[in-house]
Amino acid sequence: MNKFCRALTGEIFCGNVALGVLVALSVTLMAGVAVGQEKHPMTVEDMIRLKVPSGIVVSPDGKMLAYVVASRDLESNESLSSVWLRQIESGEEVQITAGGTGESSPTWAPDSLSLLFVSDKSEKGQIWRWDVAKKEASQVTDVATGASAPRYTNDGKYILFTARVFPDCDSFECNKERLEGVAADPVKASLFTKLMYRHWDHWRDGRVAHIFVMQAAGGEMVDQMQGNRWGVTGGWSVSPDGQWILYTTKNPKNEALNTNNDIYELPVSLPGAPDESSDRRPRRLTMNEGYDANPQYSPDGKTVLYHSQERNGYESDLYRLTTLPAYGGAPQFLASEIDQWILDFGWLPDGKLVWFADREHGRNKLHVVASSGEEKARLILGDAFLSDIAVAPDGSRFYFVRQKLDSPPEIWTVGADGKEPKALTSMNGWLLKEVALAKVEEVWWTGAAGTKIHGFVLFPPGTSKDKANPFLMLIHGGPQGMWADNFHPRWNAQLFAAPGYVTFLPNPRGSHGYGQPFVEQISRDWGGKVYVDLMNGVDFLIEKGWVDPKRMCAGGGSFGGYMANWILGKNNRFACLFSHAGVYDLVSMYGSTEELWFPEWEYGGTPWESEDYTLWSPSQFVKNFKTPMLVIHGANDFRVPLNQAMQLFTALQRMGVPSKFLYFPDETHFVVKPKNTKLWYDTVHSWVGQWLNK
């Protein structure tokens, strides 16, 4: 393991770089900060110190906000989350807690006198209730499986929540005995009979999510989905009268090959009440062959709002804002004039309007549209990346998290007319006072086939448009993703730029936010037009005089790692590359990943049906490998499995290419533990500095 050193400017690392070079770099960086300005270049510790708000909910009386704040502690190596209450008028804030380190999912009681939340104070997450007046918490559930996603019925008499259970168990006691039996059994082997036996970062154990109902005062918990082997696979909601549940589910048959989630409705079975329903089988509402999910009842309960995709098997199809009569009928698509992904949405209180946010040019923009579908959408606010949007009970205001590449996340509010946006919190205000941030500029250039391509460029202190600077290109994952105008808590562009690199965030072919045809032009063309888009972007910046072509590095994660691997075999323009969780060999990737609909769509079938797997596989160009490469991977990454990094590093070493392999036995597709995060950035900065600062 390399030894890392700290210089006055923050994270300046020894590694294999001559210490004299690093000292010279630190002097250069400090010179970029104005005399008397006490700001320093951003460090890993600064990024880990960030607080990230989310999950905003407004109290029914309109007087309070509840929200979650995620944070990290480097010393304890913990990722933390806490729930806070804020008086809207006075700004007074208080943390509510049951004493856990992971607390989330606040939901208000209809009378605004209490709220539910989930706490990890015990071994499994359980639901707790916070009394606003008494400022104390009491435990609501104590079940072996854990409980999550609590919500009240509108009359406040009942609580609904989800729990992951064995579908053939008829009680929590049965689930407890089953889990204890598995833990006590010295044999840990599993016998699988179908695909999707593991997913993202965990091995399947046979449990699925069911919805439960209990009286708000406590007592019996009734499984609304007893024996259901499909479970809840996405968002769900309860009707305004408390009589029905809408939920997202998916047939587990051929689960690895299709994306066809549907919305079902189920009558509620109340604790202690006779079940008067003659037929409690769930009723399917959506007949679309693609993805339908995250349903919400209208305020009058007559209409369902959700988002949908048309084509089965294509996870990056256009997300459409959709409504459907709750008792059956044809779907209607709202704001269909907007050819962008709509992932965030909800009802306004009167049910006449729907709000939504769409991805566009790196932003998430807030709109409203008539639920009747008779009008086009109206933009409310679109100057930044907006998320976690909530509406005041009278519909007069929106509350949301706002952030930009040069502005960390805070909670903001704006009038329903889009006027007078303002910040409510300043939990990261210290960063703007203490850290010298890079300036951000948007650029457009001409990519493949004459298409205009968009991206962001960061100029850290000490760099100038009047000279050629050391350069770092970051390539986003997906590939159907985008670099957003946000202060990313993992891939933080300001932190990449901090050592003095002009940093480039391109959104090439495949990025969302530029129309659905643009998204689709990457499928079956992974190393084609998108590669030209990227290289043309680099040429554009060189021609502007901003970039030194002899001091350039590039890297990315997931698809971004794939593209770093592709560049490795296609040109020698870069002084170094780094690949995090990058796809390397498409054939072996197919045999070890889990969601097979993805490669079969992207490469046109299975490896024995399509030549795309060899055509677009970086492993086919090993003889061209010359650029120094840092390889990074987590052992519990089941989306892009570890074998991809192992094969890449083996090829690099056998070709005699300068290379290193940073392996995390306790991480997944993402590196999230604070000390691992620090090591990740330390290693990447050391690697890039080794080749750019010679």
Q: Are 210 and 224 contacting, i.e. CB atoms less than 8 angstroms apart?
A: yes
Q: Which of 35-44, 66-75, 668-677 has the lowest mean pLDDT?
A: 35-44
Q: What is the mean pLDDT of residues 67-78?
A: 97
Q: Are 408 and 428 contacting, i.e. CB atoms less than 8 angstroms apart?
A: yes
- Give residue 328's pLDDT band: very low, low, confident or very high (50, 70, 90): confident
Q: What is the mean pLDDT of residues 225-238?
A: 97
The per-residue pLDDT for range 482-494, each reduced to its tens digit, is 999 999 999 999 9
Reference 356, options 294, 442, 265; nearest CA is 294
* Euclidean distance between CA atoms 683 and 685, whole angstroms: 6
Residue 278 has pLDDT above 90, yes or no: no
Residue 29 has pLDDT above 90, yes or no: no
Q: Report the chain's mean pLDDT, rounded to a whole number.
A: 93
The per-residue pLDDT for range 373-420, each reduced to its tens digit, is 989 999 999 999 999 999 999 999 999 999 999 999 999 999 999 999
Residue 5 has pLDDT above 50, yes or no: no
Q: What is the mean pLDDT of residues 303-317?
A: 98
The per-residue pLDDT for range 485-537, each reduced to its tens digit, is 999 999 999 999 999 999 999 999 999 999 999 999 999 999 999 999 999 99
pLDDT at 277: 55
* Euclidean distance between CA atoms 8 and 208, whole angstroms: 51
- Any bridge partners for residue 127, and if so which? 118
pLDDT at 356: 98
Reference 151, options 273, 247, 226, 262; nearest CA is 247
Residue 19 has pLDDT above 50, yes or no: no
Q: Are strands 158-165 and 148-152 parallel, antiparallel or unpaired?
A: antiparallel
pLDDT at 59: 98
- Give residue 123's pLDDT band: very low, low, confident or very high (50, 70, 90): confident
pLDDT at 24: 36
Residue 89 has pLDDT above 60, yes or no: yes
- Give residue 2's pLDDT band: very low, low, confident or very high (50, 70, 90): very low
* Euclidean distance between CA atoms 82 and 190, whole angstroms: 36
pLDDT at 12: 28
Q: Which uninterrupted H or E stretch holds 173?
A: helix 172-184
pLDDT at 311: 98
pLDDT at 536: 98
* Euclidean distance between CA atoms 536 and 307, whole angstroms: 35
Q: Got the DSSP string for 528-545?
A: THHHHHHHHHHHHHHHTT
Q: What is the mean pLDDT of residues 686-693?
A: 96
Q: Got the DSSP string for 371-418?
A: TTS-S--EEEE-SSEEEEEEE-TTSSEEEEEEEETTEEEEEEEEETTS
pLDDT at 279: 67
Burial 414-438 (b: 16+ CB within 10 A, else e): bebebeebeebbebbeebeeebbbb
- Determine if residue 63 is left, alpha or beta; phi over 0 gives left, psi from -120 to 50 gives alpha, anything else beta: alpha
> In order of start, what are the domains of the chain with their CATH numbers?
36-47+452-484+492-692 (3.40.50.1820)
DSSP character for 7?
B
Cα 16–chain centre separation? 34
- Give residue 281's pLDDT band: very low, low, confident or very high (50, 70, 90): confident
- Give residue 20's pLDDT band: very low, low, confident or very high (50, 70, 90): very low
The per-residue pLDDT for range 638-688, each reduced to its tens digit, is 999 999 999 999 999 999 999 999 999 999 999 999 999 999 999 999 999
- Give residue 314's pLDDT band: very low, low, confident or very high (50, 70, 90): very high
